[in-house]
Amino acid sequence: MSLCCCCSAAARRFLLPRLFLGSRRRHVRYSILHPRTHTTAAARAAPAATYASSSSFSTTHLSPSQKRQVSLYVDALLDWNQRMNLTAVTDEDEVMKRHVDDSLAVLPPLERAYRDHSASGGSDVDGLRLIDVGSGAGLPGLIFAVARPSWNFTLLESMRKRCLFLEHAVEVMGLSNVDVVCDRAETVGQSPDFREAFDVAVARAVAELKVLAEYCLPLVRVDGLFIAAKGHNPHEEIRSAKSAVHKLGAAMLELCDVESMGPHGQRTAVVYIKERNTPKKYPRHPGTPSKMPL
């Protein structure tokens, strides 16, 4: 697959399979375990008992200009949602609570886990490369991009209509740190331009963990993180995904209970660390991971 990357905001990468469409915190509880080898071993033994926490983060922590960018995003989301199915939430206040603040709540555990286990020197997160897999309406990727302008973001989405919205939102919000890639995760995960190229892969409301792991882990560098935003009780899903995660070269690092304005009032950020290279045969052909999970 031929890929193009341009630096200007007006020429951000926007890819379709074989087609270019343009020139392109809430309260969390935890206990941190060190060193990493001990953490991952403990996580394998008793994943449901390994928890982490961090300080809260929400739109109240954003600057006025960042709040303006978020407002522009919400307006665009609700406008486009009248023509396509981007979200079931149609009230502005509910979008802010259940989508925007819900996305921002994942930032603290992400940053703390990255500093503790993945960042060189243990503290530098500037220039972090993050891919939002199955970005959909741009959640959490676009909201992260507003809150962390020094990071570089790739929004990966397979549906053309949603990609058009994402590109529109990036332009409206004035974001210069976001690329939109319209393709399947199975295809992108085998591309030399993307494979094991990211520090962090995140996914929110995309698929079951054992399927999601095959979408995300091939994109993460060794010592990078895969973070899945899951429901209030993901423990059975985590157990079911254990073998798949191991085959793909990763191990669970911790669980973070994240307060949410969703129907259950709480979600879980499941944090995995990439310990070794993913075998070349993964991800498998498009459609295979969901039909025949590892």
Reported as a pLDDT band with limits 50, 70 and 90, residue 61 is confident
Residue 90 lies in a domain: yes
Question: How many CB atoms sit inside 10 A of residue 4's CB?
Answer: 12
Reported as a pLDDT band with limits 50, 70 and 90, residue 227 is very high
pTM: 0.82
pLDDT at 291 over 80: yes
**What distance in Å separates the CA atoms of residue 79 and residue 253, rounded to the nearest whole number?**
39
What is the chain's percent helix, strand, coil content, to nearest 5?
Answer: 40, 20, 40
pLDDT at 264: 52
Residue 3 lies in a domain: no
- The candidate with the shortest Cα–Cα distance to 135, out of 222, 48, 212, 202, is 202
Residue 209 lies in a domain: yes
Question: How many CB atoms sit inside 10 A of residue 56's CB?
Answer: 16
- Residue 184's SS3 state is coil
Residue 2 lies in a domain: no
Q: In what order do the strands lie in the sheet with 198-204?
A: 19-20, 14-16, 178-182, 152-157, 129-133, 198-204, 220-230, 266-274, 250-259, 51-52
Q: Beta partners for 123?
A: none
Q: Which two tokens stand for residue 98?
A: 């259940």
pLDDT at 198: 98
Residue 4 lies in a domain: no
Residue 1 lies in a domain: no
Counting the structural domains of the chain, the total is 1
pLDDT at 93: 85
The residue that leads in pLDDT, 57 or 194, is: 194
The residue that leads in pLDDT, 122 or 1, is: 122
Which range among 32-36, 37-41, 78-82, 246-250 shows the weakest confidence by mean pLDDT?
32-36
Reported as a pLDDT band with limits 50, 70 and 90, residue 32 is very low
CATH number of the CATH domain containing 229: 3.40.50.150
pLDDT tens readout for residues 75-115:
999 999 999 989 888 888 888 888 898 899 899 999 999 99
Domain boundaries, position 57: 9-291
